[in-house]
């Protein structure tokens, strides 16, 4: 059954990649973001398992190699040196890891999901039109995820539960809305990233504006039904960014969204009660929600205390994947009891624990550099693309904020953000090869 489902997706994708490569790349981006990681072909040993998404990426790489896409001079990858340097620096924590096999798997996963994927996508974008198509594919994928989440909310049917062999939902998540994502908070994060993109397309495609407004409603509702405070706050931040920087037309539209949300709160007081109760509980450290909020900040101190055992750990941490294999007890400031650390719901703190100061600084430097380049490229963005460019930055801001709330272990979010980064850089460049090359160095 695994192989049948894999063939259903990989067959048409491979055909399209080899008959119309650019359209095939858009298909691949859509599938990588919309699909779950299941089914999985187990590899064993040090190699990562072959999930459906990784098999899609392998087909994408083969097609790129056949087209000599990564080697031709006219296919320029912006800031490729920065990613190569980041990959090399992150080899160092593997030298001092406590679990070599786990670190190798984690390192290969990051290399596949970030470095190789970005290289293929960035080298396939030769024009601003290509960039728009990539962002459209990302947004369409998120809308598909949102439709599945709303279907799950109102019918309790999820196709991943029903049809994906090998997938067994954890009992803890039995009542959560997951759609195709492994965790409700990660689903909410994706929806918060998607709604400013849909708003940008609603502004650009006037003939289909009504459809995009339905899409905005789907994404915001799906974000709400994740029932997680972080994505709600991130969605509001994204709206503020669109209101301030996306132009007067979007400012009017975001004002309309605020009015519609206010009407919904009046008509459905239960929604307001849910939001206000969540805010009140977050501020109360005696409540469960308040403690989980405080816990995310406590992880910084826990990570620092653990790596402070030696200079080597301070610099390089315990190795990639160590958060998955190490368990220990710790004291939390908001309780007098010693408790077992149950999760790493702070991506930055987890990065510090796994890769030390060297890894955390390189991580911050990588995302900071790409964000700076996209911000700086705004001066070159065509007028018709300015709203979409702001939406990409808003989506990137959502993910960077959510990394304080959750570990980003859903590969869909890595594929999403790096596809958007590649498109954002291209939108902020001239259409000539020479001008585009100015943004390619590091």
Bigger pLDDT: 18 or 139? 139
Is-contact 441 425, C-beta < 8 A?
no
Quickly state the pLDDT bin for 89 (edges 50, 70, 90). very high
Residues 289/229, Cβ–Cβ less than 8 Å: yes
- CA 50 to CA 54: how far, in whole Å? 6
The pLDDT assigned to 282 comes to 65
Give the pLDDT mean for 169-191: 92
Q: Which tokens belong to 108?
A: 């290969």
**CA distances (Å), origin 27, targets 23, 34, 56, 122, 420:** 6, 10, 10, 15, 15
Q: Within 13 Å, how many C-alpha atoms sit on residue 439's CB side? A: 32
3-state DSSP assignment of residue 36 = coil
143's tokens: 């809308």
pLDDT digits (tens, 9 = 90+) for 391-414: 999 999 999 999 999 999 889 999
pLDDT of residue 45: 55
Q: How many CB atoms lie within 10 A of CB 183?
A: 19
Q: Assess whether pLDDT exceeds 50 at residue 330.
A: yes
Report how far apart, in Å, the C-alpha atoms of 373 and of each of 162, 204, 217, 380, 427 are: 43, 24, 31, 12, 12
Measured torsion, CA atoms of residues 247, 248, 253, 256, in degrees rounded to the nearest 10: 140
Q: How far is CA 4 from CA 1, 27, 42, 351, in A?
A: 5, 19, 16, 37
Which tens digits make up the pLDDT trace of 192-230? 999 999 999 988 777 788 899 999 999 999 999 998 889
- DSSP category for residue 341: -
Alpha carbon of 183 to those of 169, 405, 406: distances in Å? 10, 13, 10
Distance (Å, whole) CA 258 – CA 61: 43
Residue 257 has pLDDT above 60, yes or no: yes
Element housing 113 (H / E): none
The model carries a pTM of 0.88
By CB atoms closer than 10 A (0-12, 13-18, 19+), residue 221 is: middle
Alpha carbon distance 423, 126 (integer Å): 10
Q: Tell me which of 148-157, 202-211, 315-324 is least confident.
A: 202-211
Mean pLDDT of the chain: 85
R_g (Cα) of the chain, nearest Å: 22
Which spans in 184-285 are helix H? 184-204, 209-224, 229-245, 248-267, 269-283
**Token reading at 316:** 């390089």
Residue 152 burial by CB count (10 A; 0-12/13-18/19+): exposed, middle or buried?
A: buried
Least confident segment among 130-139, 221-230, 251-260 = 251-260
Instruction: Say what the pLDDT of residue 1 is.
Output: 55
CA distance 302 to 226: 28
Of 5-14, 127-136, 292-301, the range with the highest mean pLDDT is 127-136
State mean pLDDT over 163-179: 85
Which residues are bridge partners to 330 per DSSP?
Answer: 339
Judged against a pLDDT cut of 50, whether residue 435 lies above it is answered with no
Statement: residue 75 has pLDDT above 70? no
């Amino acid at each position: 059954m695994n192989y049948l489902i894999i063939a259903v997706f990989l067959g048409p994708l491979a055909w399209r990649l080899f008959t119309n490569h650019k359209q095939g790349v858009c298909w691949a981006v859509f599938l990588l973001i919309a699909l779950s990681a299941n089914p999985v072909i187990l590899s064993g040993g040090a190699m990562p398992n072959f999930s459906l998404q990784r098999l899609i990426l392998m087909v994408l790489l083969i097609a790129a190699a056949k087209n000599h896409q990564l080697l031709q001079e006219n296919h320029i990858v912006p800031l490729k040196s920065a990613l190569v340097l980041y990959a090399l620096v992150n080899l160092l924590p593997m030298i001092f890891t406590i679990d070599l096999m786990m670190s190798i798997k984690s390192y290969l996963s990051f290399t596949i999901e970030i470095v190789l994927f970005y290289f293929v996508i960035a080298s396939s974008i030769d024009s601003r039109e290509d960039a728009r198509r990539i962002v459209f594919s990302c947004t369409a994928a998120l809308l598909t995820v949102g439709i599945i989440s709303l279907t799950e909310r109102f019918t309790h049917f999820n196709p991943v539960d029903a049809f994906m062999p090998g997938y067994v939902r954890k009992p803890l998540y039995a009542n959560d809305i997951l759609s195709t994502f492994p965790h409700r908070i990660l689903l909410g994060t994706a929806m918060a990233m998607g709604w400013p993109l849909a708003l940008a397309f609603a502004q650009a495609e006037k003939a289909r504006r009504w459809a995009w407004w339905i899409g905005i409603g789907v994404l915001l509702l799906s974000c709400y039904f994740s029932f997680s405070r972080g994505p709600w706050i991130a969605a509001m931040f994204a709206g503020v960014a669109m209101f301030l920087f996306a132009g007067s037309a979007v400012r009017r539209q975001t004002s309309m969204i605020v009015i519609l949300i206010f009407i919904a709160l009046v008509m459905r007081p239960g929604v307001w009660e849910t939001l206000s109760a969540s805010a009140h509980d977050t501020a109360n450290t005696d409540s469960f929600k308040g403690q989980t909020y405080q816990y995310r900040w406590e992880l910084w101190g826990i990570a620092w205390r653990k790596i402070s055992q030696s200079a080597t750990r301070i610099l390089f941490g315990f190795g990639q994947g160590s958060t998955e294999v190490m368990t220990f007890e710790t004291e939390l400031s908001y309780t007098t009891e010693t408790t077992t650390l149950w999760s790493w719901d702070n991506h930055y703190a987890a990065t510090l624990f796994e890769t030390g100061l060297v890894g955390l600084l390189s991580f911050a430097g990588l995302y900071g550099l790409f964000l700076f380049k996209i911000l700086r490229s705004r001066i070159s963005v065509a007028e018709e693309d300015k709203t979409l460019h702001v939406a990409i930055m808003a989506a990137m801001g959502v993910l960077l904020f959510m990394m304080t709330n959750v570990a980003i272990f859903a590969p869909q979010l890595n594929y999403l953000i790096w596809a958007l980064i590649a498109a954002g850089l291209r939108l902020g460049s001239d259409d000539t090869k020479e001008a585009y090359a100015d943004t390619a160095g590091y």
